[in-house]
Amino acid sequence: MSWLLALALASPGAAVAAAEVSVAVAANFTAPMNKIAAAFERDTGYRARLAFGATGKFYAQIKNGAPFEVLLAADEATPARLEKEGWGVSNSRQTYAVGRLALWSPRAGFVDEQGEVLRSGKFERIALADPKLAPYGAAALEVMTHLGLRAALSPQWVVGESIAQAYQFVATENAPLGFVAVSQVFSQGRLVKGSAWIVPARLHTPIAQDALLLQPGKGKPAALALLAYLRGDKARAIIESFGYER
């Protein structure tokens, strides 16, 4: 009997934990990360346990001791801050995706391809993620400010704590339209449902999304393998199929 097998039999809980990685994932990256996690497990034997939510909330949870091993944030700033404050492993940050913002409605023909619907007065509510918690919400705020519409539209905001909740507000038509991630409404370059305006990147700060190895994941094979896998061709193809850029 090898020492590794003996250890596994003696400590089955430790062996299972070593084969898993706990990952905090920005809500916009839900669909691609589910696909990547499945491929990662097939290719490496490691399992990724995923939690999805707002990057700002994950920041607070990590500082309060949440045992995540890897963070896939919706921005660059949060991982950089966590690294600086000692919650992340130095020099482990990497950009895994650059996100795109869309104005979307499940109603066909409601959102035009230039976003002029924002000036139309044809809606009473518009959904967005909380700009204080979610980088996609901050980007939406920048867009409205750039277009000179922030003051006019602010009374109509329906604010979700994450981009996933903002999407739900629109999908259930609690708001007829809203700012969502392109990855939530496009697949393989095609709009899944309704109508959308892909917001020009020049209207907001680039949404570069960084991954960070957190202190609980330091030296853990599964955590290191996941970060390496995100740089590989298979993960890149999945990421790009959901409308993200390199």
pLDDT tens across 183-233, in order? 999 988 899 999 999 999 999 999 999 999 999 999 999 999 999 999 999
**Domain architecture of the chain: domains with CATH:** 3-98+207-241 (3.40.190.10), 101-198 (3.40.190.10)
* Residue pair 49/216 in contact by the 8 Å Cβ criterion: no
**∠ CA(61), CA(23), CA(215), 5° rounding?**
65
Distance between CA 28 and CA 22 in Å, rounded?
Answer: 18
- With 0.85 as the threshold, say if the pTM is over it: no
Closest CA to 179 of 125, 245, 119, 222: 125
* Residue pair 222/70 in contact by the 8 Å Cβ criterion: no
pLDDT tens across 156-181, in order? 999 999 999 999 999 999 999 999 99
H-run or E-run covering 38: helix 30-44
Supply the Cα-derived Rg of the chain in whole angstroms: 20
